[in-house]
Each structure stands twice: as structure tokens, then as C-alpha cells.
Amino acid sequence: MTITDEDGVSKAFIKKAQAFLEEYLGKIETCVAKLTDEQVWWRPNSESNSIGNLLLHLSGNARQWIICGLGNQIDERQRQTEFDAREVMPRDELLKIIKTTVTEVLSVIASFESSRLLDQYRIQGYDTTGLDAIFHVTEHFSMHTGQIILITKQLTAQDLHFYDL
């Protein structure tokens, strides 16, 4: 598919970001389903994050950048609490948090006018554009999804079969 007009490229970018976020959420759900609540909160050392921390962090980041930053909701994020959490929160509760966040993010992105992608926003103390915010959240999800996959493979010694044909 060749896209020649700028609006078409903008809309294609937004659609691809939505597809990636849905894909990453599916991979996260697959991983978490293979683990116990305790494994979700396992960490190899005090300097590393557990999957539980990463899920809280992804939710906080996506909420701040997209739901609040582009969707004009009130930003009440307390970023450090995402990393400080140590109490074992059940997997189902964590999945509910991340699924709710992704659903809201997808809704904001779906209604985001492509003509606003280059508009300026102030998010997390940074001057950024709508395009940068969506790209940031998408790549951020990618990075932490990869970490979640790695931790899951380390704990289960299983192939997760994401790319079986």
C-alpha cells in the first residue's frame, strides 16, 4: 500500500500505533497467564523491576502521555510508586489495570485528529508533539513488553509461541 498524502500517512501512523499497542497487550496477557502472583512480583535483585512493577509503570506512563497529555485528563501520576511497589498484587488486578489503560489509550488515539499530530504539548515536563507522544508510548510498551517476555521465559523455561505459523 503506497500512501502519498500527508493525512493518509498520519492516519496510517495512528492505526499502526493502535495495532502495536493491542499486540503488546496480548503478549503481556500471555506472559502473565503463565505465571503465579508471586512470579509476577519476582525480581532478580533490588535494582531490577518485577513484571508487576513494569505493568504499573506502563499503565502510569501511557495514562500520563496519552490519556492526560493528549486526552486532556488530569495527571495525578506518582511515577516513583510504580517502582516502589513490593506488595504482591494479584495478576488479575494488574491485568485489569493495564487493560483498562490500554482501552482508554486506544480510545484517545482513535479520536485524535491526525491534523493535531504536530501540535505542541507539555507532558511529563517535556515539550513534545502529539506524534512524539504516541510514538513514545508505543516504543515504551515495546521495550517493556520485551522485558516481560524475557522474565517470563526465564521463570518458565517455555517458548511462548508468539510467532508460530
- Across all residues in the chain, what is the average pLDDT? 93
CB atoms under 10 Å from CB of 25, counted, come to 21
Residue 11 has pLDDT above 70, yes or no: yes
* Closest C-alpha among 115, 21, 16, 120 to residue 63: 21
pLDDT value at position 27? 98
Q: What is the pTM of this model?
A: 0.91
For the chain, percent of residues with pLDDT exceeding 70: 96
| Confidence grade of residue 1 (pLDDT, cut at 50, 70, 90) | very low
Mean pLDDT of 14-37: 97
Pick the CATH number of 6-156 from 2.40.50.100, 1.10.3720.10, 3.30.300.30, 1.20.120.450: 1.20.120.450
Chain segment 71-83, per-residue pLDDT in tens:
999 889 888 888 8
Q: Angle 130-156/6-33 helices, nearest 10 degrees?
A: 20
Query: Would you say 155 and 148 are in contact if contact means Cβ atoms under 8 Å apart?
Result: no
> What is each CA distance from 80 to 48, 53, 70, 159, in whole angstroms?
14, 10, 22, 33
Rounded to the nearest 5 degrees, what angle is found at the Cα of 101, between the Cα atoms of 94 and 104?
155
> What is each CA distance from 137 to 38, 71, 141, 160, in whole angstroms?
27, 14, 6, 24
pLDDT value at position 2? 46
